[in-house]
Amino acid sequence: MTNECKQRIAVYPGSFDPVTLGHIDIIRRSAKQFDKVIVAVLNNLSKNPLFTVEEKKELLRTATADIPNVEVDGFRDLLVNYMDKKEAHVIVRGIRTVTDFEYEMQLASTNQKLNDRIETIFMMTNPKYSYLSSSMVKEIARFGGAVGEFVTPDVEQALRRKYSDMN
């Protein structure tokens, strides 16, 4: 591929534990803006995830199967190093609240300092998902609450299986 027709590749990183309809909305909207969107599942060692990286990747692949320019991958490295490997120059981040913005601004500034070829684009969450978080979904599911309006049917089933195995 020549420089003149280089693909515009964005990376949407996250822990996606589990992926919610809010995440999927950001993925769909990002896919309209870029030639390729890589949904990169972070193997975050500082968190105690409910799902393995492989399980999260499979749930994301199922949820995004109808979006042809989306690729699902995992990484365990500095995001800027991963971006270089993937020849991506844009990080996509969803913003729900002012608190999110403050945290994301710190990350974006740090990433820019580490690699000045990388830009971060903040995408405002659709208002109907502004309250939604993976933590909230897990809390509801842990106590047997209905999460079908927050996640895909596959994710809802996976949550039921996880929490039934724990009981």
How far is C-alpha 106 from the chain's CA centre? 18
Hey, what amino acid is at 8? R
What's the CA gap between 81 and 95, in Å, rounded?
23
Q: At what angle do helices 79-86 and 98-114 cross, to 10 degrees?
A: 60
**What's the angle, vertex CA 20, arms to CA 18 and CA 26, rounded to 5?**
125
Which residues are known catalytic residues?
A: 23, 47, 96, 134
Residue 4 and residue 140: Cα distance in Å, rounded? Answer: 49
Rounded CA-CA distance 108/49 in Å is 24
Tell me how far the alpha carbon of residue 13 is from its chain's centroid: 5
Measured distance CA(140)–CA(143) in Å, rounded: 6
